Amino acid sequence: MDPTVELNNGVRMPRLGFGVYKIPDAEVERAVHTAFEAGYRSIDTATLYRNERGVGAAVASSGLPREEVFVTTKLWNTEHGYDEALRAFDASLRELALDYVDLYLIHWPVPSRDRYVETWRAFEKIISDGRARAIGVSNFQVPHLQRLLDETGTIPAVNQIELHPRLQQPELRGFHERHGIVTEAWSPLARGGDLLRDEVVETVSRKHGKTPAQVVLRWHLEMGHVVIPKSVTPERIAENIDVFDFELDSHDIAGLATLEVGDRIGPHPDTLA
C-alpha cells in the first residue's frame, strides 16, 4: 500500500498522521519529535488545541526538510467569516512559524451561525495565495458539503470526521467518494476502551499477531481513510504506525463491518455551536 494518498488537487498526503489533540504546548514538541523518529511525517493540530507553537518548534528543530513534513491546522468556530478567517490563518502561521501549511481545515460547520460559505471563500483566497497547499473541512455533513459545491464550486480536498468501526458514516463516505474528497478519521480508535476489547477486534488481532489498535488502524487504511491516531506514549506512538506490513482479508473486513452502531463520541455537527 502506498503510504500517501493523492488529494484532488494533486498534493500527496500521508495516509497515517500524528494527532496532537489535548497535548499541552509545553509537551507537544517532545511528542512530535518522538513521532518523527517513529516515521510519521504528518502532524495534525488546530487553533483549538493551543499547541501550534510547539508543533512549529518541533518541525523547525527536527532537521527534516520542510517539504517532507505535512502540517495540518484548523480554523476555530469563533473565527467564521471572510475577514475573520484570514486573520485567524495569519495568527496560526505566526504560531507555527511557517510560511505555509499543507492543509487548512474549517474545524466545524457551525450551521447555527451560517457563515461557513463565506469562510470557505477566504480559504479559496488562502490557497490561491499559495499559503496553504490544500484546503478542506472537518465535521461537515452532506448538506454542508453540497452547499459549498453549489455556491463556490470549490471541492474540499479533505473532510475530517469522527469515524471508527462503531460510527462508519457510509452515506457521508459515499458522498466523498463521488466527489473526490478524501475521508480523514479523527478518533479512529474510538478513544480505545470498549472497541479495542470487542471480541471481533480481538479475534482479528490474534489472527494477525497484531494489537487491537493496529487492526483498527489497518481497517481504516484498507477502507481508504486517512487516520491520525494520538498518543503521548513512545511505545504506542511507534505501534500505531507499524501497520503497513499486514493486510486484512474479506472475512476480517466483514466482521468489523458488523460493529456499526452509530455511536458518536463527539458532538453532532448539526448542533455544535
Task: List, by residue number, the catalytic residues.
Answer: 49
DSSP 8-state assignment for residue 241:
H
List phi, psi (to 5°) of 87.
-65, -40
Helix (H) or strand (E) holding 14: strand 12-14
Could you give the C-alpha distances from 57 to 27, 33, 94, 104, in angstroms and in order? 11, 10, 11, 19
Alpha helix ranges (H) inside 64-128 = 82-96, 116-128
DSSP 8-state assignment for residue 163:
-
- Sign, Cα dihedral of 96, 182, 7, 224: positive
Q: Which of 194, 153, 188, 197 is nearest to 168 (CA)?
A: 188
- Sign, Cα dihedral of 166, 172, 178, 180: negative
